[in-house]
Structure 1
Amino acid sequence: MYSTLQRLNHLSSLATTYVMILLGLISIASLFALPAVDVGTVDVKDLIVQKGRLRRWAAKEEEIASMRFDIRTDLNPLLNSYNTKQLFLYLTAEYDEATTGNTHDVVLWDRIVTRGDMRDIRAVGKKLPRSKGGKKGRGNVRVEEGKNKYAWRNPSGTFKEIPSANLTLHYSLMPYVGVLSSGVAATAQGPVSIPEVIKR
C-alpha cells in the first residue's frame, strides 16, 4: 500500500513530465512555424557629420554622425503568434573601413515591443494612448523623424574613408517557450552616403 504522500509525489512527477514534453513540442513547433515578415523600409531624412566629444571623462574630439529617419514595417504576423512574448527591434549601420579593411556593425536605435503593444507603434520610446475604438491586433511600426539613440562614431575617429553604410532594422523574437529567433524587419533602399564633416 502506498501512502497519500507517495501517491501525490508520483502524480506530481508524472504531471511534470507531461508538462515538459508539452513545452518541448510547443518550442519545436514554434521554431518551424515562425511566421514570415514582409520587409519594410528605412528612409533616411537627414545625415550630418560634425566634430564633437562624447560625454565621458577625457573624451577626445572626433567625428560623430547624427541621423533622422523614418521606419515603416508591419510586424503583425509576429505579434499575433500565440508564442510571442515580446520583440526587440534595433537599427544597425553596417559599413567597411577602407584603410583597415574592417567591417563595422553599429547599433543606432532600439525599441522593445511587448505583446500589449498590438496596435500602431508611432512614438519613439513612448507609449501611445489607447485608441477609443479599442482595436487590437495591429503591429505596424511607424517611426517618423526618429533620431539615432546612440552615438554613431568610428573607432578611428573619422568617417573620411567611409563612403556609405547599409541601414537595417533587425528583430529578435522572445517566445514564451523556446529559443530566441531573429530576422530582418526593414532595410534602406540601397547604401546611404556619408557626407563630409561640417566645418565650423
Structure 2
Amino acid sequence: MHTSFQRLNNISALATTVIITLLSLVSLTTFLIPANLDPGSLKVDHLNVLLGRSNYDRSAKAREFAFVKYDLVADMSPLFNWNTKQVFVYLVADYSTPKYPENRVVVWDRIIRGSKFAKINIADGKQKYEFKEITDSFKDVSATFSLHYQVQPWVGALTGGEVVRTEAIKLPPAQRRVHS
C-alpha cells in the first residue's frame, strides 16, 4: 500500500505537469493569434532646439535640448486578448550624428492596462522626457519619430512592434539661451 505522503506526492506531480502543459499551450497560442493594427497617425507639429542646462544637473555645461509637440492617433485594442496583461507604448526619436551613428531617445510613453484605454488620441502632445544630445549639439541632425509597443502577456514571451513612423525631420539650430 502507498502511504499518504506518496499519494500526496503523486497528486502534486500530476497537478504540476498539467499546469506546466497548459501554460505552455497558452504561451504558444499567443503567437497564433494575429494582432492586426491599423496604421496610426503621427504628426510632429513643432520641433524646437534651445540651449540650456538640465534641471537634474545644475553644474553641467550648457547643451542643446530638443522640444517636440506632436499629434498622435492610434488604436492599440487589437493587441488585447485573453493573454494580454498590459501594453507598453512609447514614442521614439531616432537620429544619427557623425560621432554616434545610432541614437534613440524615448520622448513619451504610456502603459495601457486594458482594451477600454487602448485608443490613443493626443492633440498637441508634449514630450515627457528630456531630449538632449550627448555631444552637446544637434547641428545638421535629422530625426525620425516612431510609435512602438511591447505586449506583456500573462504567460509567454514579450512581443513588440512599430505602429507608425514619420519622415526624417531636420532639427533647427538652437534659438536662444535658457536659464534653468
Task: Tell me the TM-score normalized by structure 1.
Answer: 0.83
**1:150-165 → structure 2 map (5 Å cutoff):** 150-162=129-141, 164-165=142-143
Percent identical: 35
**1:44-83 → structure 2 map (5 Å cutoff):** 44-55=44-55, 56-79=57-80, 81-83=81-83
Task: Supply the RMSD in Å over aligned alpha carbons.
Answer: 1.5
Secondary structure of the corresponding residue to residue 169 of structure 1: strand
**Corresponding letter in the other structure for 2:79:** L
Q: Distance in 2 between matches of 1:103 and 1:6?
A: 60
Q: Distance in 2 between matches of 1:65 and 1:2?
A: 73
How far apart are residue 199 of structure 1 and its match? 3.2
Secondary structure of the corresponding residue to residue 25 of structure 1: helix
CA contact (8 A) 1:42 1:72 kept: yes
**1:39-188 → structure 2 map (5 Å cutoff):** 39-55=39-55, 56-79=57-80, 81-97=81-97, 99-100=98-99, 102-115=101-114, 118-119=115-116, 121=117, 139-162=118-141, 164-188=142-166
Which consecutive residues of structure 1, in runs of 5 or more, have no partner in the other structure? 122-138
Which consecutive residues of structure 2, in runs of 5 or more, have no partner in the other structure? none
Q: Distance in 2 between matches of 1:19 and 1:184?
A: 33
Q: Distance in 2 between matches of 1:15 and 1:66?
A: 55
How far apart are residue 101 of structure 1 and its match? 5.6
Report the number of matched residues: 176
Q: Distance in 2 between matches of 1:4 and 1:37?
A: 54
CA contact (8 A) 1:45 1:145 kept: yes
CA contact (8 A) 2:140 2:170 kept: no
CA contact (8 A) 1:50 1:63 kept: yes
How far apart are residue 31 of structure 1 and its match? 2.1
Structure 2 counterpart of 1:195, from 172, 176, 180: 172
How far apart are residue 57 of structure 1 and its match? 4.1
CA contact (8 A) 1:41 1:73 kept: yes
Q: Structure 1, residues 92-124: CA drift from partner, whole Å, max 9, x if none? A: 111121x32612111111111112xx22x5xxx
